[in-house]
Amino acid sequence: MTILAMDRTICGMATMNISLPDAMKEWVEAQAQTGRYANSSDVVRDLIRREQVRAEKIAAMQKMVDEARASGIDPRPIDQIMADIRSRVR
pLDDT along the chain (90 residues), means of 10: 46 88 97 96 97 98 96 93 92
The pLDDT value recorded for residue 12 is 80
CA atoms within 13 A on the CB side of 86: 6
The pLDDT value recorded for residue 1 is 37
Contact 29, 40 (CB under 8 A): yes
* Residues found in the chain: 90
To the question of pTM greater than 0.75 for the whole model, the response is no
Q: Which residues contact residue 81 at a Cβ distance below 8 angstroms, ignoring those fewer than 6 apart? A: 74
Domain 18-70: CATH architecture, name and number where available: Orthogonal Bundle (1.10)
